Amino acid sequence: MPTRFHLAGETLSRLGVLEWFKLSAGPHPDHGRLHVPYAGWRFARPGPEKLRTVEEAVRTTPTQVDWRVDASRRNWLLAPARILGDGPNPAASPAFDERVAEAARDQEFCARALEDLDGIMRTLGELTAARESSHRD
């Protein structure tokens, strides 16, 4: 059975070649507590159409927590708004690690956000499959 990491990476790579990918999701292997779920990646050739597709997946997926896409830097980030800062570089703010640590103490939040991330990736997979199909026709 493919892992969550494999499925998310495969889904994002349908939009374009990934140069880098990181997924924080699921239980920690040592203590079993859930990580705060988020995905970070870098496309070899980023572009507005790719961003619109990811944003559409976030916008159209029913979620339990608020999610945002930060494409303000070379590495894009899909994360719960709770862990992002304000301003032009939400993920680069100095308190990012502290917000992640604080959110990780809320395991109910992590569980809801994990369900959301899985749903967003499913929606993104459906959107990319539909676009691939329409380009073949």
pLDDT digits (tens, 9 = 90+) for 5-64: 999 999 999 999 999 999 999 998 888 899 999 999 999 999 999 999 999 999 999 999
**Predicted structure pTM score:** 0.90
pLDDT digits (tens, 9 = 90+) for 59-116: 999 999 999 999 988 999 999 999 987 766 666 667 888 899 999 999 999 999 999 9
CA-derived radius of gyration, the chain: 15
- C-alpha dist (Å) from residue 6 to 25, 34, 66, 100, 113: 12, 18, 24, 23, 19
